[in-house]
Amino acid sequence: MTERILLSSPHMGGTEEKYVQEAFDTNWIAPLGNNVNEFEKQVKEFTGSKAACALSSGTAGIHIALDLLGVQKDDVVFCSSLTFIASANPILYLGAKPVFIDSDLESWNMSPIALEKAFKAYEEKGKMPKAVVIVNLYGQSAKMDELMAICDKYNVPVVEDAAESLGALYKGKMSGTFGKFGIFSFNGNKIITTSGGGMIVSDDEEMIQKALKKATQARDQAVHYQHSEVGYNYRLSNISAGIGRGQMEVLEQRVNEKREIFNRYDEALGAIDGIEMMPELADTYHNRWLSTLTVDSEKMGVTALEVVEHLAENNIEARPVWKPMHMQPLFAECDYFCEEEDNSKYLYENGICLPSDTKMTMEQQLFVIKKIKELI
């Protein structure tokens, strides 16, 4: 292939330019305007959330959520270990200490067993976490019934990092709507994009009003500029929101396309002894943002990294599964609670994210499959 096969790139639906042009025609090019209002409305209606606030990134959403939950210096926040660092960095922004929780192999997300271990250990220390950040990895919902029951038992609020899982369902309920706050990302590689952007949602409309204030430098209601608390410059641009409006119109189509891509990989590779495709929990609907699998190097004779390198040699973009936070130098001193085995470490060392670009042609995907089979 002369043209590089990408992991996951932006895919415009065709109406985005119309909404961006509307921003120019009305001269609403600042972080205000009809596009922002309508984009928030679309996300609220799609997810069933009562309130939403469009932000400059998903990271900003996690930061504001933790701030509103009262996280301060030296507080503890539990967080999924197998995730992108944006799930954990906002904990550090607030001077708090992250404690990382292992994944289970059924969902690749936070393990209820490991979470219960962490709560018991910190209960004995007399220091309960101020919040729990639960990540829905690669578009798969975590085991929210079990996890929410544990957090509710200890009366600790949940921030649901649904950055990668817009359009996924858990037992008929939309991803991002289980915690006190849900966070979505619209980064360039996500299932839909605003170039860069995010959204915080909640059924607590008062808290979203506070999030809005925080996102606009926490300006008080006054004719002059008055500020009584710390705020941030986190509001989404009206131009970017115009892209989001067009993208929301094709979201369900993109989810269907992502699932079709995964199904083709599964059909071609899933029966091979030594390959395990990322599971889909019972009673859930995985948006398959990225098609992922694990490789048993003993059975296959090759490692996951060797597969990634072989694909790169053939102009194909693939990558390992996220390196867990408890293995990152930045968090070397942080506590980590795992099941009997370190599942997060296993998934990182054996996992691969395959090209899942919705603009990828059938010929290109078959080429990816051919090159994997060629190596193994």
Q: For residue range 64-118, list pLDDT tens digits in order.
A: 999 999 999 999 999 999 999 999 999 999 999 999 999 999 999 999 999 999 9
Specify the pLDDT at position 47. Answer: 98
Both 230 and 269 in a single domain? no
Query: What does the mean pLDDT of the chain come to?
Result: 97
Among residues 248, 272, 306, which one ends one of the domains? 248
Both 160 and 284 in a single domain? no
Both 199 and 132 in a single domain? yes
Strands of the sheet containing 284-285, edge to edge, are 173-174, 169-170, 284-285
Asked whether residue 9 is assigned to any structural domain, the reply reads no
Specify the pLDDT at position 110. Answer: 98
Cα separations in angstroms, 3 against 69, 140, 317 = 47, 30, 11
Both 225 and 285 in a single domain? no
Asked whether residue 119 is assigned to any structural domain, the reply reads yes
Both 115 and 256 in a single domain? no
pLDDT at 228 over 80: yes
Q: Tokens representing 81? A: 């270990």
Specify the pLDDT at position 298. Answer: 95
Of the pLDDT bands very low, low, confident and very high (cuts 50, 70, 90), residue 2 is: confident
pLDDT at 36 over 90: yes
Strands of the sheet containing 336-337, edge to edge, are 51-55, 198-202, 181-185, 158-161, 131-135, 76-80, 97-101, 336-337
- Looking at residue 345, which CATH number applies to its domain? 3.90.1150.10
Q: Which domain holds residue 232?
A: 16-248
Asked whether residue 5 is assigned to any structural domain, the reply reads no
Residue of 135, 163, 165 lying closest to 147 (CA atoms): 135
Number of H helices, E strands in the chain: 13, 15
What DSSP designation does 84 have?
-
> What pTM was computed for the model?
0.97
Q: By the 8 A CB rule, do 96 and 71 touch?
A: yes
Asked whether residue 58 is assigned to any structural domain, the reply reads yes
Both 285 and 320 in a single domain? yes
Both 72 and 210 in a single domain? yes
Asked whether residue 213 is assigned to any structural domain, the reply reads yes
- Looking at residue 204, which CATH number applies to its domain? 3.40.640.10
Both 242 and 305 in a single domain? no
Both 267 and 352 in a single domain? yes
Specify the pLDDT at position 30. Answer: 82
Asked whether residue 296 is assigned to any structural domain, the reply reads yes
Residue of 254, 330, 322, 247 lying closest to 288 (CA atoms): 254
Task: State how many domains the chain has.
Answer: 2
Rounded mean pLDDT of 243-251?
98
Among residues 205, 224, 248, which one ends one of the domains? 248
Both 234 and 340 in a single domain? no
Q: Which stretches does DSSP call E strand in the chain?
A: 51-55, 76-80, 97-101, 131-135, 158-161, 169-170, 173-174, 181-185, 198-202, 275-277, 284-285, 291-295, 319-320, 336-337, 351-354
Among residues 202, 229, 248, which one ends one of the domains? 248
Both 151 and 33 in a single domain? yes
Calculate ∠ Cα 140-90-211, nearest 5°.
Answer: 90
pLDDT at 5 over 90: yes
Contacts with 177 (C-beta within 8 Å, 6 or more apart), sequence order = 47, 48, 49, 160, 201, 203
Q: Tokens representing 170? A: 């858990």
Asked whether residue 64 is assigned to any structural domain, the reply reads yes
Both 231 and 260 in a single domain? no
Asked whether residue 39 is assigned to any structural domain, the reply reads yes
Specify the pLDDT at position 32. Answer: 87
